[in-house]
């Protein structure tokens, strides 16, 4: 029994060392100013602050990787969330979205923060400063709704459907 435990322990330790050779890519894509959220809609400083604190790591090309991103399997887990987050919504590429998509994403920002689905709960375990206060949520929703109304819709005869 003791021998089996020892063997299992050594195997785990070897596996842990072996997976460290599979590091994640941490290079951020270049941000093109013309493509950003800030070029598309007005982002006042208080909103920029909330987004920077709570959202930008997973929703911009300006991800700051913590030291444990270099420790696997944590890095794989982080990378998965970051890539998935950007695929759904990337503030660094927001201005490349069609008007309809911009409106939809702004709507979703309010929905996701009101239902506390964003920021992703696992992010908040460690990034305690990213937790949104009630007033942060209100500010984000108010801003998203206001900006939504300012996006030029392409001329259309049919009302927009969600």
Q: How many residues does the chain have?
A: 162
3-class state of residue 109 by DSSP: helix
Would residue 42 be called left, alpha or beta, if left means φ above 0 and alpha means ψ between -120 and 50 degrees? beta
- Between 31 and 81, name the residue whose CB sits nearer to ligand HEC: 81
Task: Identify which of 132, 129, 80 has the alpha carbon closest to the alpha carbon of residue 110.
Answer: 132
User: How far is it, in rounded angstroms, from Cα 80 to Cα 120?
Assistant: 12
Of these, 36, 59, 72, 97, which contacts ligand HEC (CB under 6 A)?
59
- Between 72 and 132, name the residue whose CB sits nearer to ligand HEC: 132
Decide: is 69 part of the binding site for ligand HEC (CB under 6 A). no
Scanning residues 71 to 130, which ones bind ligand HEC (CB under 6 A)? 81, 84-85, 88-89, 105, 108-109, 112-113, 118-120, 123
Degrees to nearest 5, angle at CA 77 with 128 and 70: 85
Decide: is 37 part of the binding site for ligand HEC (CB under 6 A). no
Of these, 58, 69, 103, 139, which contacts ligand HEC (CB under 6 A)?
58
Residue ranges that bind ligand HEC, judged by CB under 6 A: 54-55, 57-59, 81, 84-85, 88-89, 105, 108-109, 112-113, 118-120, 123, 132
């Amino acid at each position: 029994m003791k021998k089996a435990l020892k063997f299992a322990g050594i195997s785990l330790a070897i596996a842990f060392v072996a997976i460290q050779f599979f590091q994640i890519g941490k290079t951020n894509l270049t941000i093109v100013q013309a493509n950003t959220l800030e070029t598309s809609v007005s982002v006042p400083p208080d909103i920029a602050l909330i987004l920077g604190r709570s959202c930008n790591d997973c929703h911009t090309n300006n991800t700051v990787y913590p030291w444990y991103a270099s420790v696997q399997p944590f890095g794989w887990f982080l990378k998965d969330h970051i890539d998935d987050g950007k695929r759904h919504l990337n503030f660094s590429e927001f201005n490349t979205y069609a008007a309809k998509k911009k409106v939809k994403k702004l709507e979703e920002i309010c929905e996701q923060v009101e239902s506390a689905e964003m920021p992703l709960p696992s992010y908040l375990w460690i990034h305690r400063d990213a937790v949104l206060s009630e007033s942060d949520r209100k500010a984000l929703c108010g801003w998203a709704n206001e900006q939504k109304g300012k996006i030029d819709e392409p001329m259309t005869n049919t009302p927009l459907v969600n």
